[in-house]
Amino acid sequence: MSNRFFAPIGRVRNAISVDVEDYFHASAFDRVVPRSAWDDYESRVVPNTHRLLDLFDEQRVKGTFFVLGWVAKKFPELVREIATRGHELASHGYHHQLVYMLTPAQFRDDIRRAKGVIEQAGGVRVRGYRAPSFSIVRTSLWALDVLIEEGHTYDASIFPIHHDRYGIADAPRAVHVIQRASGSIVEVPASTVRIGAMNYPIAGGGYFRLFPYAATKWGIARVNNREGEPVVLYIHPWEVDPDQPKLEASRATQLRHHVGMAGTLDKLRQITTDFAFGPIADVLDTRARNAVPSTARWAHAK
């Protein structure tokens, strides 16, 4: 590939984020590991998060850590360390429940509890939220109103792709402001590259582990250079832990959960060398003030 496709460091500052949860919190294992049994499983979230923190220190990168409330309650010292190392703290909810499986009242209780324990442990205000498994979809857009009412100023839960479990395919791909009955909130969508009439995921989770590094690099550079927009990379601590215990699940689930783990840290080291990254809050400080309010029909749906 020609070098003209790759963005020079500093031309566009991207955002890097971590969804701080344990391997048994993944939505794919909801039917295998009930929440009532979480305390019975070996927790590996602290050492795995430390591996990411150390890599970020090595690469001189600051990021956004969307902390699961359950983790913040159980390991408040980890939350304090994330903040002490200069990273942004945000919320991943408390019990890692899919938003579209909750009532508005249940969702409000979940995010309020998470925000409280994260702020108490970290000693900073929580501005952002990311739903477990990007589960703010067309039928759960009411969650945006609850987020606004509970003091969140940005959301990072909408994935503008077709997927069987999440996504709003026609949602805007760039940072934008969503106007709701309760006010407005900045939406920071999961990153995609537009090819023809389709959006394709490029920068996070299983997509980051599964796709060849060259494809990820090409996709980020395309968004940076052709569109002048930042990309939001996301990762989970369990994705840098190939030795984690294997849970009972279908072959397809095992493949999606474990594929490429052995190379995740090396890919992260390379991507943070090839591109500039920072926390979502810093990207918003330079981008959101110019974000155009969304007028799409889905943004105003109840």
Q: Average model confidence (pLDDT) for the chain?
A: 90
Per cent of the chain over pLDDT 70 is 91
Between 78-87, 93-102, 135-144, 167-176, the lowest mean confidence (pLDDT) is in 167-176
pLDDT at 7 over 50: no
Per-residue pLDDT at 287? 62
Residues 89, 67 contacting (CB under 8 angstroms): yes
If we measure between CA atoms, which residue out of 280, 218, 298, 269 comes closest to residue 92? 280
pLDDT at 297 over 80: no
Cα–Cα distance for residue pair 74/110, rounded to 1 Å = 16
pLDDT band at 206 (very low <50, low <70, confident <90, very high): confident
| pTM to 2 decimal places | 0.92
pLDDT band at 9 (very low <50, low <70, confident <90, very high): very low
The two structure tokens encoding residue 252: 């397809």
Cα–Cα distance for residue pair 194/119, rounded to 1 Å = 37
Between 9-13, 99-103, 234-238, the lowest mean confidence (pLDDT) is in 9-13
Spell out the residues 6+ positions from residue 204 whose beta carbon is closer than 8 angstroms to its own. Answer: 190, 191, 232, 233, 234, 235
Which residue in the block uniquely carries the two structure tokens 């442990």? 121
Per CATH, the homologous superfamily of domain 3-294 is: Glycoside hydrolase/deacetylase (3.20.20.370)
Spell out the residues 6+ positions from residue 127 whose beta carbon is closer than 8 angstroms to its own. Answer: 88, 90, 152, 153, 154, 281
Partner residues linked to 232 by β-bridges: 15
pLDDT band at 300 (very low <50, low <70, confident <90, very high): low
Give the tens place of pLDDT for each residue, 237-283: 999 999 999 888 787 777 778 888 999 999 999 999 999 999 999 98
pLDDT at 203 over 90: no
